[in-house]
Structure 1
Amino acid sequence: MAYKLFVGGLPFSTTQEELEAAFAPFGTVESAVVITDHETGRSKGFGFVEMSTEEEGQAAINGMNGKELGGRTVTVNQARPKTA
C-alpha cells in the first residue's frame, strides 16, 4: 500500500516532474501531485507524494523535511486523511 506524504512550502514554480524527481532518491514514487488553484491554474505551494512503502516514505520524510527545494524550505510529513 502506498504511503502518502504532504509536502508544504513548495516554490510556486515547482512542477509535478520536479517534485517526483526530488523524492525519487528515497524510493519508488507512485505519484506526485502539485495542488493548483482551479481558477488560475497557479500552484498553491503544496502537494502530495505517494511512496511505494512506509519505509521509503519515512526515508523521504527524514531526507526532505526542512530541506531546501527551489530556494524554499519544504515541510514533509505523513498526509492525514481529509476531513469534512
Structure 2
Amino acid sequence: MGKKLYVGNLGSSVTREMLESCFGAVGKVESVNIITDRYTGQPRGFGFVEMSSNQEAQDAITKLNGQSLGDRTIIVNEARAEERRGGGAGGAGGGGGRRGGFGGGGGGGGERRRRF
C-alpha cells in the first residue's frame, strides 16, 4: 500500500483523469478519489491520491503543491489518518443513564402477570 495524499482547492471541473494525469507525471498512482456531496453529487473541492511509494508521495508534494490545475492553485499534502465520525447524530454523547419518567428507576416489585 502506498502513501495517501490530500489534494485541496480543486475546481468543480477537475476530474479523476486530470488528477491521475497530473500526479502520474510524478510517479505511479495507485488510486484517485474526488469527494462529492452525498446529496447533490457535486464535488466538495478536495480529494485523495494514493501514490505507490513514500518517495513518490514526497515528490508529488514538493512538485505539485501550489501548482495550477484547471482554474485553481491546488494544495497537496500528506493525508491525515481518517477520523471516524458518528453519522447523523454528530457524536452526541452516549445517552448515559436514562433519567426521567417516574423517579426511582427499575425494579417494579416482583413478578407481574399479564392477563389476557
TM superposition score normalised by structure 1: 0.96
Segments of 4+ in structure 1 off by > 4 A? none
Give the number of the structure whose residues are more often helix, by fraction: 1
Segments of structure 1 that go 5 or more residues without pairing to the other structure are: none
For residue 19 of structure 1, give the secondary structure of its aligned residue in structure 2: helix
Instruction: Report the Cα offset of residue 50 of structure 1.
Output: 0.2
Cα deviation 1:64-83 (Å, max 9, x = unaligned): 10111101011000000022
RMSD: 0.8
Q: Greater Rg, structure 1 or structure 2?
A: 2
Q: Which residue of 1 aligns with 2:41?
A: 41
TM superposition score normalised by structure 2: 0.70
Give the number of the structure whose residues are more often strand, by fraction: 1
The one of the two structures with greater contact order (alpha-carbon pairs below 8 A, sep at least 6) is: 1
Segments of structure 2 that go 5 or more residues without pairing to the other structure are: 85-116
- Say how many residue pairs are matched: 84
